[in-house]
Every structure is written in structure tokens, then in C-alpha cells.
Amino acid sequence: DSGVTQTPKHLITATGQRVTLRCSPRSGDLSVYWYQQSLDQGLQFLIQYYNGEERAKGNILERFSAQQFPDLHSELNLSSLELGDSALYFCASSVGAGGANQPQHFGDGTRLSIL
């Protein structure tokens, strides 16, 4: 058990809809990262928050947004969903802002299926 909790585990919805994925980091971790894992793109970094502030941005679509709340949990919002958004979305957390000596601990992911 990594200590990172993601909910829900599975989500099935239709094109055009909006969903929210939730992540609770390990106790004491200040950074939250979001990654998307799909068959064609592999594992891709989306965005990082550190202590409530956006720290780094990757290949995140404009239809996607995220935030980190004062209690450090994070939410990833996906809107105007398309079939290609079907993927496994991982959240990870680390103690500090990032780096080799701050390993990232991953949750079990949320599997999003768009019908």
C-alpha cells in the first residue's frame, strides 16, 4: 500500500460529459502529480501541484484542469470528454517539490472509460 488513495477506481461515462477524479496524497507529502496512461501515448505527465500551487505542467489538454486544496488532496477535472480520453489516470505524491531524493509514490489509478 503506497498510502496514496484515488477515487473512484472505475468511471464509465459518455462523450461530452465532465468527470472529477480525486486523489489523497500520502500523509506528509506536499506534492501531487497527475499522469495519464494510455495504450497509444504510454505514461504521460499532466501536471504537478506543490503545497497548493501549480508547480509544473506537462501535456495537459485545455479541457482538463486540476487543483490542490488546503488539506492537500487534489482533483483532476476532465470536461467535454472524447473517446480518446479513455485511459488510466494515476496520481502520485512526494514529500517536497520533486527531485531524485524525493521518490514519487503512486496510487492504484482511476480507469476512465468513455462510451
Partner 1 sequence: GDSVTQMEGPVTLSEEAFLTINCTYTATGYPSLFWYVQYPGEGLQLLLKATKADDKGSNKGFEATYRKETTSFHLEKGSVQVSDSAVYFCALSSNAGGTSYGKLTFGQGTILTVHP
Q: And the C-alpha cell for 80?
A: 467535454
CB of 12 to partner 1, least distance (A): 17
Alpha-carbon torsion (27, 51, 96, 89), positive or negative = positive
The amino acid sitting at 85 is D
- Name residues contacting partner 1, limited to 20-79 (CB under 8 A): 31, 33, 35, 42-45, 48, 50, 55-56, 58
Show the site string, 89-108: x = touches partner 1 by CB under 8 A, - = not: -x-x-x--xxxxxxxxxxxx
Residue 100 burial (CB < 10 Å; 0-12/13-18/19+)?
Answer: exposed
Q: Which residues bind partner 1 (CB under 8 A)?
A: 2, 4, 31, 33, 35, 42-45, 48, 50, 55-56, 58, 90, 92, 94, 97-109
